Amino acid sequence: MSATISQAALRELVTEWIKQGKRVVGPREVKPGCVLYEPLESSDQLLLEGFVHPANSVKEFIFPKHEELYGYCITGNRIELIEVKPPAGEQVLIGARPCDAASMPILDHVFNWDYKDELYDLRRQLTTVVTLACTAHDDACFCTSVGLGPAAERGSDAMLLELDDGEYEVRCLTEKGKALFDGKLQASERVASVAAGPEKRFEAQQVWAFVKEHFDSPFWPSETLACLGCGACAYTCPTCHCFDIVDEGNIERGVRARNWDSCQFAMFTLHASGHNPRPDQPSRQRQRIDHKFHVYPEKFGEILCTGCGNCTRNCPVGMGVLSVLTAL
């Protein structure tokens, strides 16, 4: 026994969600050839085929690229802090890839390991994730090398799997997912077949061992020469979560906010004294691999990577973690 929904019915549902005031986010072709996860204004903007992975990730919707922490008003030597409104308003991520959905339970660890980041937690609670299983992959995908796959269920509240006739099998995986699709599905006998994922490209365990043992190896300088030190990989990565805290405003009022940051920027670890523990690109690239494949698993038991391939696709010079990992 399974449940299915037609594309038309699915789009009708999307329209309903939008009408209900939910923020509905899904893959959208913002311009020819450029597909991004974006808030949808109408259901016809939702793209369900013709792409492997949007150029960005869904993390922006639970961990915004710029988030105000609080405001402040300065009058003489009096300061008044203005609290931010807690995140409110339900949102539905529809058409998320399994690699994006899986990133969220992985990120939950760091945002909750002692101090609970309620800004993040509240957004998570307000979000229902409807994943779209993959029917194709490209050269940059490597979800199977990090324990995931084209229909991996981690982090999904419901999953859509394409059937031969263009309809979708819907698997409701959590109460949230069930509630979202309540009464909208057809009972069915049809079960979707799951596509074969990409071939395994490397052994994640070996990466951990390599980074620990070869910290000072000339491997890093030689394999990372092409890196230009931008933040395209980190910012399009579903699991990168490094951030900066800045004050912005004028002499009377302003906000303290957090912004995405990337360990690839030269100033990321620059001390005020001028000392920089990671003074060159090889050491910064090493940190990226180290953090994702050694530090995070050591601390939280999970690899900080879901193999979505965005880093490789978005890297202006074709690098991404894959090039380093396969060279190991």
Pick out residues in 64-123 that bind another protein (CB under 8 A). Answer: 65-72, 74, 77-79, 81-84, 86, 110-111, 113-119, 122
Within 10 Å of residue 273's Cβ, how many Cβ atoms? 6
Q: What is the CA radius of gyration of the chain?
A: 21
Q: Count of residues binding another protein (CB under 8 A)?
A: 103
C-alpha distances out from residue 69 to 44, 72, 81, 202, 238, Å: 35, 10, 10, 40, 22
Q: Which region among 148-156, 185-193, 198-206, 242-250 touches another protein (by CB under 8 A)? A: 242-250
Q: How far is the CB of 130 from another protein (least distance, A)?
A: 20
Beta-strand runs (E) in 166-296: 168-172, 186-188, 243-249, 253-260
Within 10 Å of residue 262's Cβ, how many Cβ atoms? 20
Query: By CB under 8 A, is residue 209 in contact with another protein?
Result: no
Q: How far apart are CA 176 and CA 21, in angstroms?
A: 17
Q: Which region among 61-69, 98-106, 124-132, 152-160 touches another protein (by CB under 8 A)? A: 61-69
Of 316, 318, 324, 71, which is closest to residue 207 (Cα–Cα)? 324
Q: Which residue's CB is nearer to another protein, number 196 or number 245?
A: 245
Q: How far is the CB of 132 from another protein (least distance, A)?
A: 21
Q: Which region among 126-134, 146-154, 166-174, 252-260 touches another protein (by CB under 8 A)? A: 252-260
- The separation between CA 297 and the C-alpha centre of its own chain, rounded to angstroms, equals 17
Query: By CB under 8 A, is residue 280 in contact with another protein?
Result: yes
Q: Which residue's CB is nearer to another protein, number 56 or number 103?
A: 56
Instruction: Out of 94, 315, 321, 324, name the contact with another protein by CB under 8 A.
Output: 315
Instruction: Out of 98, 150, 238, 282, name the contact with another protein by CB under 8 A.
Output: 282
Q: How far is the CB of 55 from another protein (least distance, A)?
A: 5
Q: Which region among 94-102, 164-172, 187-195, 248-256 touches another protein (by CB under 8 A)? A: 248-256
Query: By CB under 8 A, is residue 300 in contact with another protein?
Result: no
Q: Which residue's CB is nearer to another protein, number 145 or number 283?
A: 283
What is the phi/psi pair of residue 196, to 5°? -75, 135
Q: How far apart are CA 287 and CA 5, in angstroms?
A: 45
Beta-strand runs (E) in 32-118: 34-39, 66-75, 78-83, 91-96
Q: How far is the CB of 200 from another protein (least distance, A)?
A: 19
Q: How far is the CB of 304 from another protein (least distance, A)?
A: 9
First-residue to last-residue Cα distance in the chain: 45
Show contacts with another protein in window 1-20 (CB under 8 A): none
Q: How far is the CB of 254 from another protein (least distance, A)?
A: 6
Which string of b and e fits 177-214 if b means at least 16 CB within 10 Å? beebbeeebeeeeeebeeeebbeeebebeebbebbeee
